[in-house]
């Protein structure tokens, strides 16, 4: 035991020397004495080897959880310096392990980057270990020094001759300091995989030698963070083909960025400074984000994907579905924030922003196909955001309205009990007129929708929300939309979409379902939404009349009628639309409780409508053509 340790007493805390403060307040140095702190010890030691790798001298790091739960870290670097420190008069390796903040000061000049969450180094790990053994191979010799609770128990000695160079540290965490002393292989494995991604070409192996849980893994990525992005996107669907990557090193600053977009709606941007995951972000992240927004807007405008008078894409729009890694390395990192996980060096913002804007700009210019896919995704995000904002606006406005101001076009029913009331949403004013005339006034309300208008709107939900028809529906239903939606206020327990049995009708139905799906999904989930089934044909033979609802049904009927004897001729009328029926026919075929067929819309129907809708966004012709083709099927499905 050293002098200082023997003399230590509670009243002398302010005069503690050496490593004693670390043992008194471990939390100040490693964050906690729980599991996180315990694992932190390993990271501190490995970080020193990674520093040696960053300096260009180390290729492989081996981490072992020994059978007795001690940890061994070895590397093939130059070996820790063993020469006598001119001022202190002890070997440098001893200084590194027995004096606070002595690490990292031995860099033989040049560009050096230092990792470690608190940059506390090997001495802190030593102080919090019952026992530590350090071996160094260099100059053809094997050196060793041992410590107990941070104090050396032996001088640095030469054990013998050695080939090659490297450093090896084994330590036993002090169970009187830590609440938790058992290492978790998965935790370490995740961290070292991340480390290997962040330092391309570096190989890190981890092995668990504990009885009953023997395992090992080895990580080495020549592609570095580019492979990290592919790894993160492994279970997602990327939309642009290749992962964008660049690196720039200048004036002691290094930045690396890798990114790829997926079809998802969330963003996943991981930022690092000197290999530390900056969970609170910082100036590198700010620089990256502003570069992305700027570059994408510039590209979109230059290539006429955004018109002059259109609003620019916002940050959230350009990051939807983005997976990215932003990694910076610098000599003097300032870590700030609650958990010291925020990069505070303001000069890094401009550095990252300038380089990212330039390099990502090149990428977009050189890969027009990928650029198009990315910008399309951003434009979709922008429209969805706009739509959501409009929805909130409408819902704010409509909540001010009460039921006394029902839309003028609504022919309401007299029944007040929602469970007994239904509303027909009818395509076109003329069919709307017939429906109003033919309906059961007590229980059936009719709201005509001017389908043409919806059609002309090219299916863009933001504009749909502007439409008078949609606002009318919201007021008629009475239950509001979005987060103000209240099913208990719904005025009709059957909402019946009545559109023509053609492509336009299917289009309008698609729009309505999409609207419900996005803004009132509970209407569908609770089974309140239906599709009416108007007939396709009217067949008259003598005084008898039949209605058929599909081509197959029509053929079967005709076959049967022709088989039957009888002289009267068969009259066939094909309905091109609801408007061709008079009010009696409409009642009889489509609205009468006893003879009609309603198809209840499921959430799956609505979800696929939403998907169809999404492909319709924008002014592209091919998806619209595809929509019309697909809808031939869609109409059939509904008619079954």
Rule CB under 6 A: which residues touch ligand 0RA? 48-49, 52, 75, 77-78, 80-81, 106-108, 167
Shortest gap between Cβ of 386 and ligand 0RA (angstroms)? 54
Distance CA 312, CA 297 (A): 6
Q: Is 502 a catalytic residue?
A: yes
Beta-strand pair 60-65/71-75 = antiparallel
Distance CA 314, CA 297 (A): 9
Specify the residue, 75 or 174, whose C-beta has the smaller distance to ligand 0RA: 75
Nearest partner of 279 among 287, 290, 289, 268, judged by Cα: 268
Structure tokens at 109: 């000049």
Distance CA 47, CA 63 (A): 12
Shortest gap between Cβ of 61 and ligand 0RA (angstroms)? 9
Shortest gap between Cβ of 166 and ligand 0RA (angstroms)? 8
Instruction: Please state the φ and ψ torsions of residue 345, each to the nearest 5 degrees.
Output: -75, 105
Taken as a whole, the chain contains a residue count of 640
Choose the catalytic residue: 500, 588, 605, 639.
Answer: 500
Shortest gap between Cβ of 60 and ligand 0RA (angstroms)? 12
Nearest partner of 400 among 488, 477, 475, judged by Cα: 475
Distance CA 77, CA 262 (A): 39
Choose the catalytic residue: 256, 317, 353, 427.
Answer: 427
Structure tokens at 298: 């510039």
Taking a C-beta distance cutoff of 8 angstroms, is the pair 475, 405 a contact?
Answer: yes
Shortest gap between Cβ of 222 and ligand 0RA (angstroms)? 23
Specify the residue, 106 or 185, whose C-beta has the smaller distance to ligand 0RA: 106
Specify the residue, 55 or 406, whose C-beta has the smaller distance to ligand 0RA: 55
Residue 18 makes CB contacts below 8 A (sequence gap 6+) with 2, 4, 98, 99, 100, 150, 151
Q: Is 427 a catalytic residue?
A: yes
Shortest gap between Cβ of 16 and ligand 0RA (angstroms)? 26
Taking a C-beta distance cutoff of 8 angstroms, is the pair 472, 407 a contact?
Answer: yes
Specify the residue, 110 or 622, whose C-beta has the smaller distance to ligand 0RA: 110
Distance CA 443, CA 417 (A): 9
Distance CA 521, CA 499 (A): 21
Shortest gap between Cβ of 120 and ligand 0RA (angstroms)? 14
244 pairs with which residues across the strands? 259
Shortest gap between Cβ of 75 and ligand 0RA (angstroms)? 5
Specify the residue, 49 or 345, whose C-beta has the smaller distance to ligand 0RA: 49
Specify the residue, 165 or 444, whose C-beta has the smaller distance to ligand 0RA: 165
Specify the residue, 81 or 482, whose C-beta has the smaller distance to ligand 0RA: 81
Choose the catalytic residue: 336, 457, 502, 630.
Answer: 502
Shortest gap between Cβ of 220 and ligand 0RA (angstroms)? 18
**Residue position matching structure tokens 């559109």:** 499
Beta-strand pair 129-138/141-148 = antiparallel
Sign of CA dihedral 374, 378, 383, 387: positive
**Residue position matching structure tokens 């008079």:** 582
Choose the catalytic residue: 76, 412, 469, 504.
Answer: 504
Structure tokens at 321: 């579905």
In angstroms, how far is CA 342 from the centroid of its own chain? 21
Nearest partner of 449 among 471, 424, 469, 431, judged by Cα: 469
Q: Is 417 a catalytic residue?
A: no
Specify the residue, 80 or 481, whose C-beta has the smaller distance to ligand 0RA: 80
Residue 15 makes CB contacts below 8 A (sequence gap 6+) with none
Specify the residue, 87 or 307, whose C-beta has the smaller distance to ligand 0RA: 87
Q: Which residues are known to be catalytic?
A: 427, 500, 502, 504
């Amino acid at each position: 035991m050293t002098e200082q340790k023997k003399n230590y007493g509670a009243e002398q805390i302010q005069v503690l020397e050496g490593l004693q403060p670390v043992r008194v307040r471990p939390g100040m140095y490693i964050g906690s004495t729980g599991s996180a702190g315990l694992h932190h010890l390993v990271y501190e030691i490995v970080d020193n080897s990674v520093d040696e790798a960053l300096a260009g001298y180390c290729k492989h790091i081996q981490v072992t959880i020994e059978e007795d739960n001690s940890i061994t870290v070895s590397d093939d670097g130059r070996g820790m310096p063993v020469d006598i420190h001119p001022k202190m008069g002890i070997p440098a390796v001893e200084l590194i392990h027995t004096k606070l903040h002595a690490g990292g000061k031995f860099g033989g000049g040049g560009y050096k980057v230092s990792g470690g969450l608190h940059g506390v180094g090997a001495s802190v790990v030593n102080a919090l270990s019952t026992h530590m053994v350090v071996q160094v191979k260099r100059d053809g010799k094997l050196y060793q020094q041992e410590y107990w609770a941070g104090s050396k128990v032996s001088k640095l000695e030469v054990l013998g001759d050695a080939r090659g160079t490297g450093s090896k540290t084994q330590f036993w965490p002090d169970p009187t300091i830590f609440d938790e002393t058992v290492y978790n292989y998965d935790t370490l494995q995740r961290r070292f995989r991340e480390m290997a991604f962040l330092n391309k070409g570096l190989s890190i192996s981890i092995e668990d030698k504990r009885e009953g849980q023997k395992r090992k893994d080895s990580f080495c990525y020549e592609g570095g963070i580019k492979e990290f992005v592919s790894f993160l996107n492994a279970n997602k669907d990327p939309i642009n083909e290749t992962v964008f990557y660049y690196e720039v090193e200048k004036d002691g600053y290094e930045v690396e960025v890798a990114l790829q977009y997926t079809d998802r709606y969330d963003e996943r941007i991981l930022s690092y400074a000197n290999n530390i995951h900056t969970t609170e972000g910082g100036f590198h992240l700010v620089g990256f984000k502003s570069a992305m927004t700027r570059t994408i807007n510039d590209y979109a405008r230059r290539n006429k994907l955004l018109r002059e008078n259109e609003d620019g894409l916002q940050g959230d729009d350009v990051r939807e579905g983005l997976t990215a890694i932003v990694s910076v390395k610098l000599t003097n990192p300032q870590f700030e924030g609650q958990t010291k996980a925020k990069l505070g060096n303001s000069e890094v913002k401009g550095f990252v922003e300038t380089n990212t804007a330039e390099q990502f700009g090149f990428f977009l210019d050189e890969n027009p196909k990928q650029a198009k896919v990315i910008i399309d995704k951003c434009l979709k995000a922008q429209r969805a955001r706009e739509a959501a904002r409009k929805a909130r606006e409408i819902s704010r406005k409509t909540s001010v309205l009460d039921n006394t101001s029902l839309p003028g076009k609504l022919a309401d029913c007299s029944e007040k009990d929602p469970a007994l009331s239904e509303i027909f949403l009818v395509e076109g004013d003329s069919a709307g007129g017939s429906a109003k005339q033919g309906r059961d006034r007590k229980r059936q309300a009719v709201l005509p929708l001017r389908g043409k208008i919806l059609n002309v709107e090219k299916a863009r939900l933001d504009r749909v929300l502007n439409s008078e028809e949609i606002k009318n529906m919201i007021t008629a239903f009475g239950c509001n939309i979005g987060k103000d939606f209240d099913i208990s206020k719904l005025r009709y327990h059957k909402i019946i979409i009545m559109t023509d049995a053609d492509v336009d009708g299917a289009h309008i139905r698609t729009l309505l379902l999409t609207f419900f799906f996005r803004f009132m999904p509970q209407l569908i989930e609770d089974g309140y939404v239906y599709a009416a089934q108007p007939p396709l044909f009217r067949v008259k033979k003598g005084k008898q009349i039949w209605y058929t609802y599909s081509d197959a049904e029509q053929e079967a009927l005709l076959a049967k009628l022709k088989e039957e004897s009888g002289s009267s001729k068969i009259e066939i009328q094909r309905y091109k639309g609801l408007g061709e029926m008079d009010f009696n026919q409409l009642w009889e075929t489509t609205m009468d409780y006893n003879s009609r067929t309603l198809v209840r819309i499921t959430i799956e129907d609505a979800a696929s409508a939403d998907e169809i809708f999404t492909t319709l966004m924008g002014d592209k012709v091919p998806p619209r053509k595809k929509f019309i083709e697909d809808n031939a099927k869609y109409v059939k499905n509904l008619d079954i």
